[in-house]
Amino acid sequence: MKNLRGTAVLAAVGLALAGCASGASSKPQSPPGPVVARGVAVREPLADPRPYGAADTAFGLDLLAAWCRADPQANLVLSPSSLASGLGMAYLGAGGATAQAMAAVLNLPAAGGQTVSGLALEAGLQARSAALRGLDSPGVTVETSDQVWADPSLTTRPAYLNAVATGYGAGLARAPLLTDPDQAAREISQAVSTATRGQIPQLLPAGSLPDIGWVLTDALYLHADWAAPFQASLTSPAPFATATGQDVSVPFMNGGQFRSDRVGGWTGVWLPYRGGRLGLLALPPPDGAAGCTMPSAAGLGAMTAQLTKPNGVVQTTSAVALPKVKLADTTSMKGLLAALGMGLAFTSAADFSGLSPQACCIGLVQHAATLQVGEQGTVASAATAVGMEPTAARLPPVTVMFDRPYLMLVIDRTTGEPLIAARVTNPAAG
């Protein structure tokens, strides 16, 4: 039963990699509309979104492995798709070494040895966004929402707004990020809560946005019914060996027939949702594998392609015993991303001049994700907030009150010579 640990954790990856994003049957109230939305319609046919799916897969596996090594005994759930969107919007404003570091961590597609950029990148991102929207179908609700939030005192370059609108369908909304950051956090969290059907009610708590001038958000929601639901009457408790070696009793859903395949020592089982386009790939790790071992992105891609071929040559399992799970995580990804090679983007040496002449660096990457897998299907959500700091010189002026005894010095700035020094204790005394 120890291998089922990998099934419970990696089921989240299989779901996220499939592009989980948004809603159930009734449409929620729409989040606040953008104040500004600029975009360029890329002419048909759209670019191929598959290289971006492969990039997000590699990025997600790298990040999950790093997180697992940092906390090997915890359940983990994240959305590579959401994180790639939030950080991708930041990348569109990056330049120089900052853009290179981000592209490497995000595993962005390359052509001719160079990372895809410019209009080709925007076209690919637009195709990726269109593919996500195309998952919405009877029995499967998928919704995405991307937004640029900016303090009214800051300048956001029109070319940047054009790029994020084209690639992600994101608009610009104003929020008092520098003057009332807690109010801005409430507004952003409310929009995310609406987009995720209340699954993520507070992405940004009070006090989470100090000195942040822009916040780039992505919100995803998924509600998908199994193509063949599990029978609740067959759900029964069985032992599960945790990462600490302790045996616990958990409810297992039992059913079959599901397609499976083996690649690189990994066995993958494909559990399709209604319509057959979206599915959950569950993978128990190979016998003897270390706890944080991950499949290769190429191997996972090959397995998924084989399992989802209409007439693919695969084995068929007679039954599957899959635990019911209900996972939720909210965490800062800043440390993990820096460890993977994106550290420059979080320092004052970062180059985000494509976003704004006032942009300094990434100040926060807050991520939340939920996953519920039961007899009828799957409900999942995710949200990412990438907070951008403005340069210190562009922060709003702070009033310094000289309302108690103070000092004054007249100084020669070239030599430092103090010509006059005074301490004022009562300005009215003369």
Judge if 312 and 333 occupy the same domain: no
Judge if 269 and 170 occupy the same domain: no
Sheet holding 258-263, edge to edge: 279-282, 266-272, 258-263, 315-317
Which tokens belong to 118?
A: 């410019």
| Per-residue confidence band for 20, with pLDDT thresholds at 50, 70 and 90 | very low
Judge if 93 and 158 occupy the same domain: yes
| 242 part of a folded domain | no
Judge if 54 and 42 occupy the same domain: yes
- Per-residue model confidence as pLDDT tens digits over 209-222: 999 999 999 999 99
| 234 part of a folded domain | no
Do the Cβ atoms of 282 and 6 come closer than 8 Å? no
Judge if 276 and 305 occupy the same domain: yes
pLDDT at 382 over 70: yes
pTM of the model: 0.85
Judge if 340 and 303 occupy the same domain: no
Judge if 301 and 368 occupy the same domain: no
Task: Indicate the residue among 320, 346, 371 that finishes a domain.
Answer: 320
Instruction: Tell me the residue range of the domain where 299 lies.
Output: 251-320
- Per-residue model confidence as pLDDT tens digits over 100-141: 999 999 999 998 889 999 999 999 999 999 999 999 999 999
Q: How far apart are CA 80 and CA 20, in angstroms?
A: 10
User: DSSP states of 5-24 as a string?
Assistant: HHHHHHHHHHHHHTT-----
Judge if 263 and 351 occupy the same domain: no
| Per-residue confidence band for 397, with pLDDT thresholds at 50, 70 and 90 | low
Q: How far apart are CA 198 and CA 130, in angstroms?
A: 24
| 243 part of a folded domain | no
pLDDT at 42 over 50: no
| 49 part of a folded domain | yes
Our CA dihedral for 292, 297, 302, 307, rounded to 10 degrees, sits at 50
Judge if 291 and 354 occupy the same domain: no
| 344 part of a folded domain | yes
- Per-residue model confidence as pLDDT tens digits over 187-210: 999 999 999 999 999 999 999 999
| 403 part of a folded domain | no
Judge if 221 and 82 occupy the same domain: yes
| 302 part of a folded domain | yes
- Per-residue model confidence as pLDDT tens digits over 49-92: 999 999 999 999 999 999 999 999 889 999 999 999 999 999 99
Task: Indicate the residue among 268, 293, 320 that finishes a domain.
Answer: 320
Total of domains in the chain = 2
Judge if 274 and 331 occupy the same domain: no
Residue 196, amino acid: T
145-154, 270-279, 388-397: least confident range: 388-397
Q: Which CATH number belongs to the domain containing residue 96 in this structure?
A: 3.30.497.10
- Per-residue model confidence as pLDDT tens digits over 172-186: 999 999 999 999 999
Task: Indicate the residue among 302, 320, 338 that finishes a domain.
Answer: 320
Query: What confidence score (pLDDT) does residue 412 get?
Result: 64
- Per-residue model confidence as pLDDT tens digits over 233-256: 999 999 998 888 888 899 999 988
- Per-residue model confidence as pLDDT tens digits over 279-299: 999 988 888 888 888 999 999
| 429 part of a folded domain | no
Percent pLDDT > 70 in the chain is: 80
Residue 240, amino acid: F
Query: What confidence score (pLDDT) does residue 41 get?
Result: 47
Q: Which CATH number belongs to the domain containing residue 264 in this structure?
A: 2.30.39.10
Judge if 314 and 333 occupy the same domain: no
The average confidence (pLDDT) of the chain is 85
